[in-house]
Chains A and B, each alone.
Chain A
Amino acid sequence: MQVPAPFEYERATSVDHAIALLERLGSEARLVAGGHSLLPMMKLRFATPEYLIDINDLHDELGYIRVEGDEFRIGAMTRHRELLESDELAAAFPIFRDAEKVIADPVVRNRGTLGGSLCQADPAEDLSAVCTTLDASCVIRSSDGERVLTMHEFHRGPYETAVEDAQMLTEIRIPIRPNGSSAYEKVERRAGDWAIVSAGAAVWMDGETISDARVGLAAVGPNTTGIGAISEALRGQVPTEELYATAGGLAAEASRPSADSRGTEAYKRHLADELTRRALRRSVARITGTNGQEA
């Protein structure tokens, strides 16, 4: 058994209480939600917080998936399993269910949360890529009030976010747009492993042409990456294999992978290309009702 260093434990009863505890306990305090990233790091003593503030009792307050106006709002304490099982979410954004099916295993999914995943800011993290793809925004609350950031603003670097001391991520907002669909493609060494590379795509169509498209990649650079050049290249175009290839090429070009035990740089760049094509193809097929197989 790996044992963590000593720490103090507090249990928050509301978001306001959690923020008050963060303010009082200072920069050595950490929130723990599902704990599937933080606790292993503590057991390995890579993380040695002095205080843990358990926010699992906040699931009532922050565990929700609902539509408000023209956006989906998902509470930061919504667990993977709830994201996986939400038919409403899957109907609007199939990418969520695609991704959740390949995130870790049922034990982790029962406990891990959307907010925890995003705040971990691992460059290979799946939901960060999903949120980037869907142009999500993040609501961060402090005692001064709320601010709303784009994913780009939220992610400052590997394992680093815009959430400062005495602040917490409370909600993710995703704009709903008509005639769109989405998909997620991931290659992993083994079920439940982090992605070697993964690609999310979201496409919106106007008749036969693509009105807008977004691609988000994971594990090919310091951060999950939305690729603007792909959106530009796809807008106004009729989807074809050649177009997907162009997008794949742009994805590979935009990738800055590093070699590690999951793969070589060249392989990861290849996957960025291949998985971008697949994710776009599947997204379009979901809109047009075709099967999305290789042309």
Chain B
Amino acid sequence: MTVTDNPVASFHDNDQHPVGFGRMLRKEDPRLIRGKGNFVDDVQLPGMLHLAILRSPYAHAKILGIDVSAAQAHPNVVAVITGADLAEQGLAWMPTLSNDVQAVLATDKVRFQHQEVAFVVAEDRYSARDALELIVVDYEPIDPVMDVRKALEPDAPVIRDDLDGKTDNHCFDWETGDAAATDAAFAKADVVVTEDIVYPRVHPAPMETCGAVANVDQISGQLTLWCTSQAPHAHRTVYALVAGLPEHKIRVIAPDIGGGFGNKVPIYPGYVCAIVASLVIGKPVKWMEDRTENLVSTGFARDYVMRGEIAATSDGKILAVRTNVLADHGAFNGTAAPVKYPAGFFGVFTGSYDLEAAYCNMTAVYTNKAPGGVAYACSFRITEAVYLVERIVDCLAHELDMDPAELRIKNFIQPDQFPYTTKTGWVYDSGNYEPAMRKAMDMIGYDELRREQAEKRERGELMGIGIAFFTEAVGAGPRKDMDILGLGMADGCELRMHPTGKGVLRLSVKTQGQGHETTFAQIVSEELGIPPEDLEVVHGDTDNTPFGLGTYGSRSTPVSGAAAALVARKVRDKAQIIASGMLEVSVADLEWMKGSFQVKGDPEKSVTIQDIAMKAHGAGDLPEGVEGGLEAQICYNPENLTYPFGAYICVVDIDPGTAHVTVRRFVAVDDCGTQINPMIIEGQVHGGLTDGVGMALMEIIEFDELGNCLGGSFMDYLIPTALEVPDWETGHTVTPSPHHPIGAKGIGESATVGSPPAVVNAVIDALKPFGVRHADMPLTPSRVWETMQGNHTPPI
């Protein structure tokens, strides 16, 4: 291997560079892989202090008193702040993204283990941490509510007694679909299958934990906050609304971010503490949580206890799906979802199938667990919805003794039915499911695998083939339906061309590793016919980018990607007018040739976009009414969500003696509409598939009955390594979105959504000789073995 001294130069020399869409290396990678990224913890300011948070050892306890005197006496400690101190300023509580409130620091009692109780600001991180051990808190423990099924029992201790008149642990009820029509469909069905399905609590566990550096300028009153935020603009507005700080005096900077997966959508108490500390002390203050703090206190995902019911005819026509869900929201409802969607987009639990009816009834409760709810690349709860429907369809295949691929194909929404309105009211924009399914089956050699499986079963060997077919709903969202805390989910974009034909593109969304600096440059490159490397992408800084709601729920390409294409078209439209002046023809006589305007029928007469940019900034007259400069701005309000889909097939082998599962092969055929950079898409799919193997086989945040979180380190919370996953086999079909300017759909979370049921279905298929129809994740060796013994709800 040759090592070059100037990888940037060799990168630019790469002749595989597309103009527009296509495979190209990521523009951000030279800095990231050489350790030249700039993350929050890299921010060092003169005089900066360090903040550490004292957390509760109890899941549920009254706070009788806090003695901070010894901590304050520590020589390197600058301040010790408790909930009582914050309460004096009216800052002890803050709103969550779901119109609940959450304690910044506990005042009356603690409601989950590791809840924030006090913080120390010291001259260095070690002293801050040391001083935490000098704070004495007098707790009076209360019985915790840890079992979601017992949260609504009449004698359950009331967790949220801070809320006026609250006498139980009920959080909200929600329903969707038509209950009566669904009952009728079930009544006439030949076959009804019911299964209790748990999606356990898991954690996104990004490589970089959450943190912030707050710096309040004592003279100007300007707050600059560097923080691990997937949504810097939304965060800024919330700070303005909560703390009463004038919004124009707040600058939120999300620098390089080491993974988000939804974990960095909420506003955490630690951010607020850092801001308060800087305000009070007048110096910059850094807070970076450690790994344990991240796992035990920040946004978790799932924790849905679902009863799935499916009704079908005896020949396998699915009539209806019904589900009852008990949702564990933890101590505060910290779900980040559009206001009208308290259960996120769980309503797409009807999956990819043409049903007569569907109904969901959900009860959400409070428990003494950390708040959160949507994280870990779940597309606003679509992970749970897809898992439910893809598991219950497999249960139906089991009961009907039908091939699960055949059953799915038989029930797919047909291409001519799009746009298709589901029985729960979602309008799927486009789809063509069977070719994707057939392609996955061809790639993996489905029929041959079934033959192999039959032979192996004869010999007592355990091999399973699992299928999942998912439809996602991503790109929130149309402002008529969707807002978070009153902020519409549209996104801005701004493109400014420089005189030499290079440009700067400013985005409201923010990458956490998805490759925005490349993908968005390629979108504009495709529209303007200039090389992607001639475009600088600026994002993550509220002072330098237009307003928008940020990156989560696979929304960047569906929303902001559309904005980028449209802003480029605005620039192109203006360029066309300038070109008409340069070529002395009318606008209508010009033809766009991807990079230049040419006089129709006269290829000799043309001007490039670079020529036009110089003209726009240069000497001489422009056509009448045209201002100088070449730039545009847009705020894009999506007409609908986009509905990517995919067919996933997984093959597993299980050691009959140890019950250890090996994922042998995994084929993922994704359709995210128009592909911008297939390499980046494959990378996102690889990551999501790995997530899925992790959730299916090993990941879980568990608690003991006292409320102790048992997943507080990577020794206890397992995430898969390269040794647990096969070489991914990816394929694609292309069904463009009809309403997106370039036909693209989101892809970021498809694989995380689609892969867990594929892996679980494969394991259950392997266990068919044992009569097994269902077992809950994670399918650890112990749980698989217990299932093989006929124990269908093993504890581990």
Contact = CB atoms under 8 A, between A and B. Distances in A.
Interface of A: 1-3, 5-6, 40, 44-45, 105, 187, 189-194, 196, 259-264, 266-268, 270-271, 274-275, 278
| Residue among A2, A259, A262, A263 having the largest count of chain B Cβ atoms under 10 Å | A263
A187 B660 contact: yes
A195 B724 CA distance: 16
A6 B129 CA distance: 10
Nearest to B288: A1
A218 to B, nearest CB: 15
A259 to B, nearest CB: 7
B292 to A, nearest CB: 7
Nearest to A275: B658
A261 B724 contact: no
B658 A2 contact: no
A173 B391 CA distance: 55
Given A1-B125, A187-B781, A196-B782, 13 more contacts: A3-B290, A6-B130, A187-B658, A190-B698, A191-B721, A193-B715, A259-B795, A259-B796, A260-B796, A261-B796, A263-B780, A263-B782, A270-B785
B781 A267 contact: yes
B723 interface: yes
A264 B796 contact: yes
A105 B724 CA distance: 13
20 contacts: A3-B125, A5-B133, A6-B126, A40-B715, A44-B292, A44-B713, A190-B718, A190-B723, A191-B721, A192-B721, A194-B715, A196-B781, A259-B795, A261-B716, A261-B796, A262-B782, A266-B786, A267-B782, A271-B658, A275-B658
B660 A3 contact: no
Contacts of B785: 267, 270
Main secondary structure of the interface of B (DSSP, over half): loop
A278 B781 contact: no
Given A2-B292, A6-B126, A262-B796, A267 B786 contact: yes
B35 interface: no
A295 B782 CA distance: 25
Nearest to B785: A267
Interface in B683-725: 698, 702, 710, 713, 715-716, 718, 720-721, 723-724
Interface string B338-358: 000000000000000000000
Interface string B769-796: 0000000000011100110010000111
Please name the 4 residue pairs, one residue from A and one from B, whose CB atoms are nearest each other, closest first.
Answer: A263-B782, A191-B723, A2-B290, A267-B782
Contact of A261 (B660, B702, B794): B702
Contacts of B782: 196, 262-264, 267-268
Given A2-B292, A6-B126, A264 B780 contact: no
Given A189-B780, A196-B782, A261 B710 contact: yes
Contacts of A278: 657
A6 B127 CA distance: 9
Contacts of A196: 781-782
Contacts of B288: 1
B291 interface: yes
A278 B796 CA distance: 24
A200 to B, nearest CB: 16
B299 to A, nearest CB: 20
Contacts of B660: 187
| Residue among A44, A45, A187, A261 having the largest count of chain B Cβ atoms under 10 Å | A261
